[in-house]
Amino acid sequence: MGLFRRGSTSSDGSSDLEFDDDLEVDAGIAEEVGPLGPTGRPLHPVGAYFEAAFRRFGVNFGGYLLIAAISGLPLLGVKVVVSGTAISGLVAGLLYAAAFALGNFMVLTLATMLVVGSLRGRLGSVLITGVVTVAIGTLLIWLLHLVAIVFYPLLAFPSIIVASGDGRGFDSIWQGMRMTVRWFKRTYACVLGLAIVIAAVAVGFGILLTPLGSFLQQQVTFAITTIIVWPVAALVFRNLYGDVTGRLVINDSPKENERRKEIIKRRRAKAKRNRERIKKVTGEE
């Protein structure tokens, strides 16, 4: 499925990842081994989650924009209702927060469904998880506004877990909390990256749309930022979840293998030069 493929492990817990024989390195020049996942497979760097997310988003740009647009319909509905009625600012803010939390849950669930297939047989669990996470998300967004992104993993993981069929109802919420704690550094490195992406997209489009006027500029910038960031955030945390569980593995980019070979080739050349210099200094032949 695009940038993902199902991972499998052998009976001894080893990974099914294979490397070319050409990638063997001389003694003392081995590649650094990063943190290991539960299956013993080295985890990808956090940057790989974003690289894979943007690449996947670009490959299926129209599809993910459609998912974001559909998920944004509750926000549009609230906008129409609030504009046509005399609802107080307090109630309007609560409705906007609820619509935003619902839209985010929809994006996370649909983005995960693209990998795992149909949600048939899991709709009840998805509904329970959705009600709880949307309720919590509504309160967080309503009370904290942009600061609510700090709690994003607690809402994202349960949605991905239940859509993947790895948890049912309230169990998926508990699993999401445990996963956030267990992979705290990795999770909040992703949150920091998302905050940077949000700021970059919002500022960029804000400057680009300056001619529209202050109010319209804010509205359009918010809409564009949401439509872009929602799928990217869902893909990043889908990548993170797949990597740390070993269920889904991020495929290397087309040139990753060549890049790795080039790095090792340079290391070998450097090691050879160092050996030659040592021989000259010591007088060895």
Higher pLDDT, residue 193 or 5: 193
The DSSP letter of residue 149 is G
pLDDT at 11: 39
What pLDDT is recorded for position 107? 95
Shared domain check, 149 and 278: no
CA angle 197, 210, 66 (to 5 degrees): 50
Same domain, 278 and 144: no
What lies within 8 Å, CB to CB, of 186 at 6+ separation is 43, 46, 240, 244
Would the pLDDT of 160 be above 60?
A: yes
Secondary element (H or E) of residue 250:
strand 248-250
Q: Between 71 and 164, name the one with better pLDDT.
A: 71
Within a domain: 12: no
Q: Is residue 26 part of a domain?
A: no
**144 and 231 in a common domain:** yes
Looking at the fold, whether 62 and 138 belong to one and the same domain comes out as: yes
Alpha carbon 237 to its chain centroid, in Å, reads 3
Q: Write the pLDDT tens digit of every residue in 203-251.
A: 999 999 988 888 889 999 999 999 999 999 999 999 999 888 887 655 5
Same domain, yes or no: 245 and 265: no
Most confident of 5-9, 175-179, 274-278: 175-179
Q: What is the domain extent for residue 244?
A: 41-251
Q: What pLDDT score was predicted for residue 29?
A: 38
Specify if 194 maps to a domain.
yes
User: Which positions ≥6 away from 144 have C-beta within 8 Å?
Assistant: 150, 151
Q: Select the more confidently predicted residue: 196 or 116.
A: 196
The verdict on 180 and 213 lying in the same domain is: yes
Tell which wins on pLDDT, 154 or 262: 154
* Amino acid 164: pLDDT: 86
Estimate the share of the chain in helix, then strand, then coil, as percent rounded to the nearest 5.
Answer: 75, 5, 25
Domain count, the chain: 2
Biggest alpha carbon distance in the chain?
Answer: 91
Does the residue 208 lie in any domain? yes
Q: Report how far residue 224's alpha carbon sits from residue 202's, in angstroms, rounded to the nearest whole number.
A: 8
Residues 153, 271 within the same domain: no
Identity of the residue numbered 246? G
Looking at the structure, do residues 50 and 76 belong to the same domain, yes or no? yes
Please tell me the pTM assigned to this model. 0.74
